[in-house]
A and B are shown apart, each in its own frame.
Chain A
């Protein structure tokens, strides 16, 4: 494997966004890119990352290799990379370590780290391609704000999506709160759009602790997309350049 990123920033942010949800995971490398799928310990949430080969310049991977990595250790190594550094990830066949090289833009500093790998026997879930009943795209910062505000009211949020908009409702000991985002196109700045497509109304409850955790990915993308169907897990997607993505799946709470 040899994969070079123009800026370490992307990889630093991805790892930062998932390290509190999953501790040990395999980075599955093959000629289409670097993928990761891992569940949290309680098996309620799942993270699915794809960094396509086109995300790297260049990308080369001659055979499929899983790189079993402790994300706490990887975070320690990535601290040594500045956001603007060129990052190269390298590994041999049947590796004991993954090699990370950080180069300053002006090429006067090269840092090189070897991170020990681990054998991880991970349960892999097959996630079918799903036609969701409702899809809502919104500014990622707005979603983060809504989740963190409602977490102060309750540990759970009900998300209701209708043609009129998407509503987040929390009921807690101190009272209730709700936030509605209406569909809206900002002609000057499409990053501010709220776009809803719906085949049937959806109402589901989720843990805000998990949702606020997913929001650690906010810096990766201006927009976030929520995909919902009744009685299936929510998908929260942060789309990245070159068809790469960071997706979180969250099982709904059981109703009354």
Chain B
């Protein structure tokens, strides 16, 4: 529960 996703898992590098 303390862990946070990071955004790269959701969005591609442009």
Contacts and interface: CB of A to CB of B under 8 A. Distances in A.
**Chains A and B belong together in one complex:** yes
Counting chain A residues whose Cβ lies within 8 A of the other chain, the interface size class is 20 to 34
Contact of B3 (A123, A126, A127, A254): A254
Contact of B4 (A128, A249, A251): A251
Contacts of B3: 253-254
Interface in A75-124: 123-124
B1 A156 contact: yes
A205 B3 CA distance: 10
A251 B7 CA distance: 6
Counting chain B residues whose Cβ lies within 8 A of the other chain, the interface size class is 10 to 19
Contacts, number: 57
Nearest to A231: B10
B9 A251 contact: yes
B7 to A, nearest CB: 5
Interface of chain B, helix or strand or loop or mixed? loop
B11 A127 contact: yes
Interface of chain A, helix or strand or loop or mixed? loop
A254 B13 contact: no
Interface stretch (A19-27, A36-44, A141-149): A36-44
Contacts of B4: 42, 44, 207, 251-254
Interface of B: 1-14
13 contacts: A43-B7, A44-B6, A44-B7, A124-B13, A125-B12, A127-B11, A156-B2, A233-B7, A251-B7, A252-B5, A253-B4, A254-B1, A256-B1
Interface of A: 39, 42-46, 123-128, 155-156, 205, 207, 232-233, 249, 251-256
